[in-house]
Chains A and B, each alone.
Chain A
Amino acid sequence: MRKRWALVLCAPGIVFLILCCAWPVLRIVLQTVYDDTGAVSFAGYAALFRKSFFTNSLTRTLRLAAITTAVCAVVGVPVSYYISRMSEKRKSLAISLATFPLLTSAIVRSICWIVLLGKKGVINNLLVGIGLIDRPLSILYTETSMLIGYIQLFMPLMLLSLVGVMESIDDELLQAAQTLGCPPVLAFIKVVVPLSVSGLITGGMLVFTGTMTAYATPSLLGGTKTKVLSTLIDQYANINSDWVSASLVAVVMIFFTVLINVLFTQIAGRLNRRQSA
């Protein structure tokens, strides 16, 4: 009786997900491992991984994601700690201010940086205008501009993941560390950082996978020489009409997203076990 109800209620969603998500994605994956004769073959991947254009994009994607995650973590810990110590009124303002960029289209946020960093953008106009430089700087369409965009895009996720964890850390622990001889900054590193690890993992996972799969930011702030996986798929499919390569890259992207998720979940699980043991 109960089982039947549960089945009835879940069935429409399951059917929809199978038809519109699982099957189309599975087909893409399967297509990449069969060759023209219908035999299983990984020749496509072998060829893909021989192209330096692709491997460069892959390592760039992972590198940028790692740097973005690291920066968000290093900045996020002190900032979220500070937010967690604000009065209720200020705290909710700070959280709204952090949520707002999160709910603003990635495209709008990338456009902001074009306006600021472009050759004819605000910063260059200003610097040329006051005579500090002769020719506009090329900040835009580099890995630097992509990083700036990524960090702004994903910092709120890190902050929101951390604030709750920070709230549960007692200030007396910091004072205790100081009475035991730790200067304030060291006390912070020795006490607050290890106690916020669970938030860092949640936030880190969101930031890392987010950066890895973001499209608007790299396509608007990156250049042709700074392709990442997402812009590479776009190029293969929409410009080169090379659907086979696009599918291969798409599967690689899924693989790494799942891998990162599993990795972070594993670490979180191990930490939980250690803390409750």
Chain B
Amino acid sequence: MAILELKNVSAGYGRNTILKDFCISIEEGKLVSLLGSSGCGKTTTLRTMAGFIDVSQGQFFFDGQDYTHRPIHKRGFGYVFQSYALFPHLNVFENVAFGLKRQHVGKAEIQTRVTEMLSRVGLAGFADRLPADMSGGQRQRVALARALVLKPRVLLMDEPLSNLDARLRVEMRVEIRRLQQEMGITAVYVTHDQEECFSISDQVAIMNNGRIEQMDTPVHIYSHPVNEFTARFVGFENFVPLTRENGRYASASGTVFEAEGTAPKLKAACRPDDLQLVPGHEGGVMCLRGRIVVATFLGKQMQYLVNTKEGDYLVNTAADTLYAPNDPVTIFFPAEKTIYTTDEA
């Protein structure tokens, strides 16, 4: 059952409407990521759920109740800010206890709950520190603890790991996933990092221009992007425009692709890793002939830029496969690794 639901919501800053007629529905207990480049509306969606942004049209439901105009402090959602937004004048204990005090929890209970939460995020013994005296990763944990100690049913996170270095990011995302599952919280996670979001999410919503392009499980999106935008987002390149003629799809130069469907135009696409490169000019279905333009050594692999009649394509091969510029080659699109998209993004 959906616990969070935006129904035909329009929202934005002042006259600048970022979300128009926006819909999303998030199931209880899931970790859902909103993925997209800056300005795609992912943070706006999150802030709308938190109540930081006024909804000009549409409705927002939490657990079946209309929360559209509910004040921020009455929503009871946890929120983790990109900047952490820790109170600089309060120490770690006071930061984490801040929300409990508002709920008029007894002193003894505050003590036990804060202490328990701090050890849970690995900060036992840091209670007296001020935020200014802590590292980025530690502050991140305080921010998490501060939100989680209230046992919220929903946790909203706005790029919580973007200010950390790469190693810490990996460590913290595992941590976040563990806490979310242990506590059975519904979480919405905003990020622009594809790897990060695919690794921890139950579902991913890829956003673009204030719309959701595709929302599904990471595995499904990874293998079956529905359009060129999401395909590019999950690493597909090498798009070949196809036109339908005599019941078959063929590229401009006449190569036939084994696509199914009825749309007059399609695009075939494949990841550089999945394309196969053969020396010389071969004919046949799903093959493009061309010449090597640039060879780049990537360490584990060689990357070749190949010029064909359809355009330039990138192919990654094993590091011991060597071609020189201007060598004639044939690119083969393996059927099981090739996807077909319909739009013209």
Measured in the bound complex, the distance between the Cα atoms of B81 and A178 in whole Å is 13
Bound-state CA distance A175–B46 (Å) is 13
Task: State whether A181 touches B150 (Cβ < 8 A).
Answer: yes
A187 on the B face (CB < 8 A):
yes
Q: Which residues of B contact A183 (CB under 8 A)?
A: 71, 73
- Say whether A194 contacts B89, CB under 8 Å: yes
**Residue B160 CB within 8 A of the other chain:** no
- Asked if A195 and B77 make an inter-chain contact with CB atoms under 8 angstroms apart, the answer reads no
Could you tell me if B87 and A176 are in contact, using CB atoms closer than 8 angstroms? yes
Please tell me which one of the listed residues A172, A179, A190 contacts residue B75 in the complex, with CB atoms under 8 A apart: A179
Q: Nearest-CB distance from A163 to chain B (Å)? A: 19
Known: A179-B75, A181-B76. A172 touches B146 (CB 8 A): no
- Near A by CB (< 8 A), chain B positions 62-105 give 71-73, 75-79, 81, 83, 85-89, 98-99, 102-103
The answer to whether B197 has its CB under 8 Å from any CB of chain A is: no
Question: Which residues from chain B contact A173 at a C-beta distance below 8 Å?
Answer: 85, 87
CB distance from B131 to the nearest CB of A (A): 11
Q: Are A180 and B85 in contact (CB under 8 A)?
A: no
A275 within 8 A of B: yes
- Say if the beta carbon of A88 comes within 8 Å of chain B: no
In the complex the two chains form, is A180's CB within 8 Å of B71's CB? Answer: no
A172 to B81, CA, bound (A): 8
In the complex where A181-B150, A183-B71 touch, is A176 in contact with B102 (Cβ < 8 A)? Answer: no
Interface SS of chain B: loop
Tell me the bound Cα distance from A173 to B131 in angstroms.
13
Contacts of A170 in B (CB 8 A): 83, 85
Tell me if A176 and B81 are in contact (CB < 8 A).
yes
A182 within 8 A of B: yes
Given A175-B52, A175-B79, A176-B79, decide whether A181 and B85 contact each other with a Cβ distance below 8 A: no
Q: Which residues of A contact B87 (CB under 8 A)?
A: 173, 176-177, 191
Which residue in B51, B52, B150 is a CB contact (below 8 Å) of A180? B150
Provide a sorted-by-A list of 17 A–B residue pairs whose CB atoms are within 8 angstroms: A170-B83, A172-B81, A173-B87, A175-B79, A176-B146, A177-B87, A178-B51, A178-B73, A179-B77, A179-B79, A180-B146, A180-B147, A181-B150, A195-B88, A275-B88, A275-B132, A277-B130
